[in-house]
Amino acid sequence: MIDHGDVLYLQEHLPFFAKLDQADKRRVLDAASKSAYQQGETIHTRDTECNGLVIVKSGQLRAFFETEDGKEITLYRLLDNDICILSASCVLKNITFTVILEAEKDSVLFFIPAVFWGNLTARDIYAKQFAMELVAERFSEVMWVMEQIVSKNMRQRIAVFLLEQSVLETSDILTMTHESIAKNLGTAREVISRILKYLENDGIIKLSRGQIHIVNLPKLKEIGR
Protein backbone atom coordinates (compact mmCIF):
# COMPACT_ATOMS: atom_id res chain seq x y z
CA MET A 1 0.00 0.00 0.00
CA ILE A 2 1.22 3.47 -0.77
CA ASP A 3 0.31 6.60 1.14
CA HIS A 4 -0.45 10.16 0.09
CA GLY A 5 3.21 11.16 0.11
CA ASP A 6 4.00 8.22 -2.17
CA VAL A 7 1.29 9.29 -4.59
CA LEU A 8 2.82 12.76 -4.80
CA TYR A 9 6.25 11.21 -5.27
CA LEU A 10 5.13 8.96 -8.14
CA GLN A 11 3.21 11.77 -9.83
CA GLU A 12 6.36 13.83 -9.82
CA HIS A 13 8.93 11.17 -10.71
CA LEU A 14 7.23 9.03 -13.35
CA PRO A 15 8.01 11.03 -16.51
CA PHE A 16 5.02 9.68 -18.43
CA PHE A 17 2.50 10.11 -15.60
CA ALA A 18 1.24 13.59 -16.49
CA LYS A 19 0.33 12.44 -20.00
CA LEU A 20 -1.77 9.47 -18.93
CA ASP A 21 -5.53 9.79 -18.97
CA GLN A 22 -7.32 9.98 -15.61
CA ALA A 23 -8.28 6.30 -15.57
CA ASP A 24 -4.71 5.15 -16.23
CA LYS A 25 -3.33 7.57 -13.62
CA ARG A 26 -5.61 5.92 -11.12
CA ARG A 27 -4.62 2.45 -12.29
CA VAL A 28 -0.89 3.17 -12.01
CA LEU A 29 -1.30 4.39 -8.44
CA ASP A 30 -3.49 1.39 -7.59
CA ALA A 31 -0.95 -1.01 -9.08
CA ALA A 32 2.09 0.53 -7.41
CA SER A 33 3.56 -0.98 -4.28
CA LYS A 34 6.39 0.05 -2.00
CA SER A 35 9.00 -2.10 -0.24
CA ALA A 36 12.13 -1.57 1.78
CA TYR A 37 15.24 -3.65 1.15
CA GLN A 38 18.34 -4.05 3.24
CA GLN A 39 21.85 -3.69 1.94
CA GLY A 40 22.88 -6.91 0.20
CA GLU A 41 19.38 -8.13 -0.55
CA THR A 42 18.42 -9.20 -4.04
CA ILE A 43 15.29 -7.46 -5.27
CA HIS A 44 12.43 -9.90 -5.63
CA THR A 45 8.77 -9.16 -5.75
CA ARG A 46 6.17 -11.90 -5.75
CA ASP A 47 7.06 -12.79 -9.31
CA THR A 48 10.78 -13.32 -8.89
CA GLU A 49 11.42 -13.64 -12.60
CA CYS A 50 10.32 -10.15 -13.50
CA ASN A 51 10.00 -7.29 -11.04
CA GLY A 52 8.32 -4.90 -13.43
CA LEU A 53 9.19 -1.22 -13.31
CA VAL A 54 11.36 -0.43 -10.28
CA ILE A 55 11.61 3.14 -9.02
CA VAL A 56 14.32 3.92 -6.49
CA LYS A 57 12.84 6.31 -3.95
CA SER A 58 16.03 6.20 -1.94
CA GLY A 59 19.10 4.02 -1.66
CA GLN A 60 21.29 2.39 -4.26
CA LEU A 61 20.85 -0.63 -6.49
CA ARG A 62 23.31 -2.52 -8.62
CA ALA A 63 21.93 -3.86 -11.91
CA PHE A 64 23.86 -6.85 -13.14
CA PHE A 65 23.76 -9.64 -15.64
CA GLU A 66 24.68 -13.20 -14.75
CA THR A 67 26.46 -15.31 -17.32
CA GLU A 68 25.66 -18.99 -17.73
CA ASP A 69 28.82 -19.90 -15.85
CA GLY A 70 27.83 -17.71 -12.92
CA LYS A 71 29.92 -14.61 -13.53
CA GLU A 72 28.30 -11.28 -12.75
CA ILE A 73 28.73 -8.23 -14.93
CA THR A 74 27.66 -4.95 -13.37
CA LEU A 75 25.72 -3.02 -16.01
CA TYR A 76 24.77 0.16 -14.20
CA ARG A 77 23.72 1.55 -10.85
CA LEU A 78 20.41 3.07 -9.82
CA LEU A 79 20.45 5.95 -7.36
CA ASP A 80 17.69 8.12 -5.87
CA ASN A 81 14.79 8.65 -8.31
CA ASP A 82 16.27 6.36 -10.96
CA ILE A 83 13.97 3.94 -12.73
CA CYS A 84 14.85 0.44 -13.91
CA ILE A 85 13.10 -0.67 -17.07
CA LEU A 86 15.07 -3.85 -17.75
CA SER A 87 13.58 -5.30 -14.57
CA ALA A 88 10.41 -5.44 -16.68
CA SER A 89 12.17 -7.37 -19.45
CA CYS A 90 9.48 -10.03 -19.50
CA VAL A 91 7.09 -7.48 -21.02
CA LEU A 92 9.66 -5.70 -23.21
CA LYS A 93 9.52 -6.98 -26.74
CA ASN A 94 12.82 -8.42 -27.98
CA ILE A 95 14.64 -8.10 -24.67
CA THR A 96 15.70 -11.67 -24.06
CA PHE A 97 18.16 -11.29 -21.19
CA THR A 98 17.50 -10.87 -17.51
CA VAL A 99 18.89 -8.11 -15.33
CA ILE A 100 19.19 -8.76 -11.61
CA LEU A 101 18.94 -5.98 -9.03
CA GLU A 102 20.72 -5.99 -5.69
CA ALA A 103 20.52 -3.37 -2.95
CA GLU A 104 23.97 -1.88 -2.35
CA LYS A 105 22.53 0.34 0.35
CA ASP A 106 19.33 0.14 2.36
CA SER A 107 16.74 1.14 -0.22
CA VAL A 108 13.08 2.06 -0.54
CA LEU A 109 11.59 1.03 -3.86
CA PHE A 110 8.34 1.39 -5.72
CA PHE A 111 7.18 -1.35 -8.06
CA ILE A 112 4.80 -1.21 -10.99
CA PRO A 113 4.00 -4.88 -11.71
CA ALA A 114 5.23 -6.28 -15.02
CA VAL A 115 1.87 -7.51 -16.33
CA PHE A 116 0.24 -4.17 -15.59
CA TRP A 117 3.16 -2.35 -17.21
CA GLY A 118 2.89 -4.55 -20.28
CA ASN A 119 -0.79 -3.70 -20.64
CA LEU A 120 -0.23 0.00 -20.07
CA THR A 121 2.53 0.30 -22.66
CA ALA A 122 0.42 -1.66 -25.13
CA ARG A 123 -2.26 1.02 -25.05
CA ASP A 124 -0.47 4.19 -23.97
CA ILE A 125 2.06 5.60 -26.36
CA TYR A 126 3.75 7.86 -23.79
CA ALA A 127 4.42 5.04 -21.41
CA LYS A 128 5.71 2.95 -24.31
CA GLN A 129 7.94 5.76 -25.53
CA PHE A 130 9.29 6.26 -22.03
CA ALA A 131 10.09 2.53 -21.81
CA MET A 132 11.81 2.43 -25.18
CA GLU A 133 13.91 5.51 -24.58
CA LEU A 134 15.03 4.14 -21.25
CA VAL A 135 15.96 0.85 -22.93
CA ALA A 136 18.09 2.83 -25.41
CA GLU A 137 19.76 4.70 -22.56
CA ARG A 138 20.65 1.47 -20.78
CA PHE A 139 21.90 0.02 -24.06
CA SER A 140 24.34 2.93 -24.33
CA GLU A 141 25.51 2.36 -20.77
CA VAL A 142 26.04 -1.32 -21.45
CA MET A 143 28.12 -0.48 -24.54
CA TRP A 144 30.31 1.63 -22.29
CA VAL A 145 30.74 -1.32 -19.93
CA MET A 146 31.64 -3.56 -22.86
CA GLU A 147 34.23 -1.06 -24.01
CA GLN A 148 35.72 -1.06 -20.54
CA ILE A 149 35.89 -4.84 -20.53
CA VAL A 150 37.55 -5.07 -23.94
CA SER A 151 39.84 -2.06 -23.74
CA LYS A 152 41.13 -1.92 -20.25
CA ASN A 153 43.22 -4.48 -18.55
CA MET A 154 42.13 -5.65 -15.12
CA ARG A 155 44.39 -3.21 -13.29
CA GLN A 156 42.75 -0.29 -15.09
CA ARG A 157 39.29 -1.70 -14.52
CA ILE A 158 39.93 -2.06 -10.80
CA ALA A 159 41.16 1.53 -10.68
CA VAL A 160 38.04 2.76 -12.50
CA PHE A 161 35.87 0.67 -10.19
CA LEU A 162 37.48 2.04 -7.01
CA LEU A 163 37.16 5.60 -8.33
CA GLU A 164 33.46 5.06 -9.09
CA GLN A 165 32.88 3.59 -5.65
CA SER A 166 34.69 6.50 -4.06
CA VAL A 167 32.34 8.92 -5.82
CA LEU A 168 29.27 6.86 -4.88
CA GLU A 169 30.38 6.63 -1.26
CA THR A 170 31.76 10.20 -1.21
CA SER A 171 34.66 8.76 0.75
CA ASP A 172 38.25 7.68 0.23
CA ILE A 173 37.62 4.71 2.49
CA LEU A 174 35.66 1.97 0.76
CA THR A 175 34.06 -0.81 2.74
CA MET A 176 34.09 -3.82 0.44
CA THR A 177 35.55 -7.26 0.12
CA HIS A 178 37.82 -8.50 -2.64
CA GLU A 179 35.08 -11.02 -3.38
CA SER A 180 32.54 -8.28 -4.12
CA ILE A 181 34.95 -6.45 -6.44
CA ALA A 182 35.58 -9.74 -8.24
CA LYS A 183 31.83 -10.22 -8.68
CA ASN A 184 31.40 -6.70 -9.99
CA LEU A 185 34.13 -7.15 -12.57
CA GLY A 186 33.35 -10.73 -13.50
CA THR A 187 36.65 -12.26 -12.46
CA ALA A 188 38.13 -14.40 -9.69
CA ARG A 189 38.82 -13.12 -6.18
CA GLU A 190 42.47 -14.18 -6.46
CA VAL A 191 42.96 -11.90 -9.47
CA ILE A 192 41.54 -8.94 -7.55
CA SER A 193 43.56 -9.65 -4.41
CA ARG A 194 46.77 -9.87 -6.39
CA ILE A 195 46.22 -6.58 -8.20
CA LEU A 196 45.08 -4.79 -5.04
CA LYS A 197 48.27 -5.97 -3.36
CA TYR A 198 50.30 -4.49 -6.23
CA LEU A 199 48.41 -1.20 -5.90
CA GLU A 200 49.15 -1.21 -2.17
CA ASN A 201 52.83 -1.84 -2.79
CA ASP A 202 52.81 1.12 -5.18
CA GLY A 203 51.45 3.30 -2.35
CA ILE A 204 48.17 3.97 -4.17
CA ILE A 205 45.82 2.24 -1.77
CA LYS A 206 46.01 0.82 1.71
CA LEU A 207 44.28 -2.45 2.53
CA SER A 208 42.82 -3.40 5.85
CA ARG A 209 40.20 -5.91 6.90
CA GLY A 210 37.13 -5.31 4.71
CA GLN A 211 38.31 -1.84 3.75
CA ILE A 212 40.25 -0.19 0.97
CA HIS A 213 41.68 3.23 1.64
CA ILE A 214 42.59 5.34 -1.39
CA VAL A 215 45.74 7.17 -0.36
CA ASN A 216 46.95 8.45 -3.74
CA LEU A 217 43.88 9.56 -5.71
CA PRO A 218 45.75 11.29 -8.59
CA LYS A 219 47.80 8.16 -9.21
CA LEU A 220 44.69 5.96 -9.15
CA LYS A 221 43.03 8.28 -11.68
CA GLU A 222 46.08 8.05 -13.88
CA ILE A 223 45.89 4.25 -13.89
CA GLY A 224 42.18 4.32 -14.63
CA ARG A 225 42.57 6.63 -17.60
Binding site for its own copies (CB under 8 A): 65, 67-69, 71, 73, 92-97, 125, 128-129, 132-140, 142-147, 149-151, 186
CB of 204 to its own copies, least distance (A): 22
* Nearer to its own copies among residue 62 and residue 174 (C-beta): 62
Nearest approach, Cβ of 143 to its own copies (angstroms)?
4
Q: How far from 89 is each of 7, 62, 63, 108, 194, CA to CA, in Å?
A: 25, 16, 13, 21, 37
Residue closer to its own copies by CB (options 124, 172) is 124
Alpha-carbon gap, residue 225 to 221, rounded angstroms: 6
**Min. distance of Cβ 94 from its own copies in angstroms?**
4
Closest distance of CB 106 from its own copies, Å: 29
Q: Please, which residue, 156 or 216, has the CB nearer to its own copies?
A: 156
Q: Least Å distance between CB 101 and its own copies?
A: 16
Residue 202 Cβ vs its own copies, minimum distance, rounded to whole Å:
23
Closer residue to its own copies in complex, CB, 144/198: 144
The Cα-based distances of 78 to 81, 153, 177 in angstroms read 8, 26, 21
Instruction: Select 118 or 186, whichever has its Cβ closest to its own copies.
Output: 186
Q: Which is nearer to its own copies, 3 or 68 (CB)?
A: 68
What length does the chain have? 225
